[in-house]
Amino acid sequence: MTAEPDFLRTTRTSYDAIADGYASWTRDELASKSLERGLLTAFAELVAKDGGGLPLADVGCGTGRVTEYLGGLGLGLDVFGIDLSPQMVATARKEHPDLRFEEGSMLGLPLPDASLGGLLAWYSTIHVPDKELPCAFAEFHRVLAPGAHVQLGFQVGDEPFRLAEALGQEVSLVFHRRQPERMAALLREVGLEVRSVVWRERETDGPFPERTPQGFVLARRPIVSGGCEDGDTRTTG
């Protein structure tokens, strides 16, 4: 059996330690970010249109605040969350008892091939080291149905940031900051089509000031023209 990468263990343990406090701290964050809400809403509309009625997974969902937002848009989406941290999942279930949350790693998602109509990785790839990121993106490709979209959100930069304390708890977290075009290139390398690349400057005031600019990349798994892929019968034309 392959040993679990160290970053998974330390990330899981760190978020287990801060789960309850994290839910309180981030509860109003999305309400303060108009651009992010717009991007998430546009993504959800694409999933509703192109996802074939398949579920939408919020991978690295944390305490479920974005999962709840997507599910509350009135688009009829079957939205659920997956997170590495058992305590984050437990808190998400407590905070949003009407939604489904599961434990899992984006390096090996507990999902069948081509089973998702959409996948959100909203600030969840930030803890994945560079050498593991292609594996995560290959997993995204595997679980997305042809024509289904993936939306990434992440912090922009070139150097990682290390955090040893958060919300009064000892943690060991590495935040990998990346350039949007680099993220887009990695998605293309695993066979995904990039549809949008967005960069915005950091917020320096308000209740949630930021250390870095923010990046957002939208991509989709291609539809095979004139045929089918992984048993999916949708075609273009």
Average pLDDT over residues 146-158: 98
Distance CA 107, CA 28 (A): 29
Q: Sorting pLDDT into bands at 50, 70 and 90, what band is 206?
A: confident
CA quadruple 151, 160, 167, 132: dihedral positive or negative? Answer: positive
pLDDT band for position 4 (cuts 50, 70, 90): confident
Q: Cβ distance 144 to 190 under 8 Å?
A: no
Q: pLDDT for 99-137, tens place per residue? A: 999 999 999 999 999 999 999 999 999 999 999 999 999
- Model confidence at 73: pLDDT above 80: yes
Residue 69: predicted pLDDT: 98
pLDDT of 221 strictly over 50: yes
Q: Where are the alpha helices (DSSP H) in the chain?
A: 6-26, 34-50, 65-71, 86-95, 133-143, 180-189
Model confidence at 34: pLDDT above 50: yes
Q: Which residues pair with 78 in a beta bridge?
A: none
Question: At 208, is the pLDDT very low, low, confident or very high (cuts 50, 70, 90)?
Answer: confident
**pLDDT per residue as tens digits for the range 176-192:** 999 999 999 999 999 99
Q: In the structure, what pLDDT confidence band is assigned to residue 229 with cuts at 50, 70 and 90?
A: very low
Q: Please check whether residue 161 is in contact with residue 175, taking contact to mean a CB–CB distance below 8 angstroms.
A: yes
Cβ–Cβ < 8 Å for 106, 5: no
Calculate mean pLDDT across residues 7-30.
93
Amino acid (one-letter) located at 115: S
* CA–CA dist 138, 15 (Å, integer): 25
Closest residue by Cα to residue 190 from 234, 159, 150? 150
The residue to which tokens 């991978």 are assigned: 59
Are 188 and 152 contacting, i.e. CB atoms less than 8 angstroms apart?
A: no
For the chain, give the percent of residues with pLDDT over 70: 94
One-letter amino acid for residue 146 of the chain: P
Of 102-116, 197-211, 214-228, the one with minimum mean pLDDT is 214-228
Confidence of residue 48 (pLDDT cuts 50, 70, 90): very high
pTM of the model: 0.92
